Structures are given as structure tokens and as C-alpha cells.
Amino acid sequence: MSYQQGWPPQPHQQPEKRKGLSAPMFALTVVGITAAVVLLFALLTSGGGSISPDPSVSPSETNQQGTAASSPQESTEPSESVTPSPSVAPETTAEAVESLAGGVETALLEANGVDSFRALQASSPGFWIVEVEDVSSGTVRVHVQTELTDDERDSFALWVINMSCMSVEQLDTVVMRDTSGIDSNHYKHRMSRVLPACED
């Protein structure tokens, strides 16, 4: 029995497996590297989300603009103080203090010791007086809330003159107006029953 070279027989040797990544792992790695490269390229092209400063504006100008915007501009003009002007009192004259009608009304009330004509008795001519108004220099109009006869008009006008002539010497004419709206003029110098103190 002849022996051939390689005898005794050697155990069957399995071929060595190449160490490295399997196909699925290799594909996954390639995909990951590709995604990383794409992401890095996108960040580089977009500036990484940061805003690059304008090269035409220097940092000092930017700082000055920010300071000017944050702090309000102070006015260099001095504030003017307003001094209130003293109030000038209007000149008071005799006409402003008291009119002829007002003087007559006051004299009638004081002569009868009352504060209003309604405080008088109904038998007094003054009870019916509602207003005394100025007409002209020396003339007043007396309004009464009743209708008068001609004699009553004379009596009312005489009562007004006799009651007020001592206080209001310039009163010369009394115009009586009753509820009819008709005026009647009564002159002091024409009345026969005027008190001696009221005669000029």
C-alpha cells in the first residue's frame, strides 16, 4: 500500500471568513454618512442660522445707533416758566354797582320793612309789583300782575315815587305796565300829591 503525499489525511479546513461589515450594516453606514454630509453642507450654506453683520456698518456705528435708540433725546432748550399775570379788577362804576331800577326796588322794600313785595299786604300797591326795570336815565318801568284802571295807575305810580324819592333822587318818571301790556307814563313834576320831600 503506497502512501500518497498528504497522508495521513488532513482535516477539512473551512475557508476563512473575511472580517468586516455585513451588507446591511454597510448600507446603513453609507446612508448615515451621506445624511451627515448633506446636513453639514446645509448649515454651511445657510450660515448656521446666525446673522452675519453688515460689513458696511462698523461696530462703533452700530453701538452708537443702539444707544441713541434706547436713550431718549434730552432737550437742550431751557424750559420757560410761565408767570401768571395778575388779575386786573374791572373798574367799578356807579352804574355797575346799582342800576336805577335796582335802587328803586331796594328803596321800596326798605321803606316798607320787607324783603319782597309779596310780604306786603294785598291792600298795598307794592303787593302787585313783579318787576322794576330800567328804561332810560331817570325812568323806570314797573310791572304789576293785575289789570289797573287809570286812577289806579296814578295811585301806583305816586306810591312808587313817594316811597323811593328820598333814596333815588334821579327818579323822574314811572311807567306803569299791567297785565294788559299797556304802558302809561307818570311824571313826578306833574303829580299834585307828591310828598314835599320829593319835589325838586
Q: Provide the pLDDT for residue 101.
A: 96
Q: Provide the pLDDT for residue 39.
A: 75
Residue 32 lies in a domain: no
- Across 16-100, the runs of DSSP E, i.e. the strands, are none
Mind listing the pLDDT tens digit for each residue in 102-149?
A: 999 999 999 999 999 999 999 999 999 999 999 998 999 999 999 999
Mean pLDDT calculated for residue range 28-45: 74
Asked if 186 and 154 count as a contact pair (C-beta separation under 8 A), the reply is yes
Residue 131 lies in a domain: yes
Residue 85 confidence class, pLDDT cut points 50, 70, 90: very low
Within its chain, how far is the Cα of 125 from the centroid? 52
Residue 137 lies in a domain: yes
Residue 160 lies in a domain: yes
Mind listing the pLDDT tens digit for each residue in 138-161?
A: 999 999 999 999 999 999 999 999
**CA–CA distance, 104 with 31 (Å, rounded to integer):** 119
Q: How many domains does the chain have?
A: 1
Range of the domain at 135: 99-198
Residue 104 lies in a domain: yes
Residue 187: pLDDT above 90? Answer: yes
CATH number of the domain within which 161 lies: 3.30.300
Q: Provide the pLDDT for residue 34.
A: 79
Q: Please say whether the dihedral angle defined by the alpha carbons of residues 154, 159, 160 and 162, taken in this order, is positive or negative.
A: positive
Residue 87 confidence class, pLDDT cut points 50, 70, 90: very low
Asked if 186 and 152 count as a contact pair (C-beta separation under 8 A), the reply is no
Residue 192 lies in a domain: yes
Residue 45 lies in a domain: no
